[in-house]
Chain A
């Protein structure tokens, strides 16, 4: 079975992923900026006076941004890059597994 055939079973899931990607800046950028963004982890860390240590900038896409793009558009493009990497890894691993069992 080809890769395209295998993924064709997941057409609905892939469409859902695309729709979620497009609306993601509404939740991940616009609303988050409007009301302030806090995680329970941030609350706990601030009470202990813990500080993040930056071990270096190992990626140009930190915090789901893309250099040169506005925040909301960058968020969608960053998400698409993440999805492409995950599905790409799936295709690679699936071929490796297929070759092993052949």
Chain B
């Protein structure tokens, strides 16, 4: 990790975890759009939307959108902000959670140019599918082993937030590193993205655990799936 922190930093401003246009080659653009489209179709079939579920989704999406605007700069290093894919899946389940996080990422790209158009499929894949699915599976595994206790929820949600964002970071590293123009790029991008996100993911995990615990203990209507 020390090696990674000592890498020289570039001075690009304004981009976040969102991949901008120009970073992906055509095969990755097509593949990520197809994968995202397939998941979206399946999620639409499974979601069984009701007005109440849609309201919960929109409130959570608005909250995650605003939370993503709070960057926590780390002097001399990097910055982080909450991503929320795992949180959305834990609160609303893997289908409603997907549409919640995908809405956030799409509004960011279309309205605020935060992330590109050609890379929108990849950004939804990373933040609204990989982050969420990994987090969801980790949480389910932890609560299966430890039982449905408050302690299990806290540990499960922490590990879900951490693992989700770490694997999503690795995925983004694979996408930008595995392109024909950079045959060895993946050896650079995966350790950098995975390493940093494993570190920053600790904060994502802590926030995910605290929010899940707070909402669960107070019987919030945002807890649709865990009950």
Residues of A at under 8 Å CB distance from B? 1, 6-7, 9-10, 12-14, 16-17, 20-21, 23-24, 27-28, 31-32, 34-48, 50-55, 57-59, 61-64, 75, 78-79, 81-83, 85-87, 89-91, 93-95, 97-98, 101
Contacts and interface: CB of A to CB of B under 8 A. Distances in A.
A93 to B, nearest CB: 5
Contacts of B196: 40, 43
Given A38-B78, A64-B114, A93 B54 contact: yes
B11 A64 contact: no
Interface stretch (B35-43, B62-70, B133-141): B62-70
- 9 A-B pairs with least C-beta separation: A90-B58, A53-B22, A46-B10, A40-B196, A62-B113, A94-B54, A94-B51, A52-B20, A27-B70
B113 A17 contact: no
A7 B59 contact: yes
Interface residues of B, number: 76
Interface stretch (B143-151, B156-164, B184-192, B202-210): B184-192
Given A38-B78, A46-B10, A59 B111 contact: yes
Nearest to A40: B196
Contacts of A37: 13-14, 71, 73, 79
Nearest to B61: A86
A31 to B, nearest CB: 5
Contacts of B12: 38-39, 42, 45-46, 52
Nearest to A85: B107
A48 B188 contact: yes
Q: Determine which residue in B107, B110, B111, B169 has the highest number of CB atoms from chain A within 10 A of its CB, and name it.
A: B111
23 contacts: A6-B51, A12-B220, A20-B70, A24-B69, A37-B13, A39-B16, A40-B197, A40-B200, A41-B15, A43-B78, A44-B192, A47-B188, A52-B20, A53-B21, A53-B116, A58-B113, A59-B113, A62-B113, A79-B69, A86-B58, A86-B62, A87-B62, A97-B50
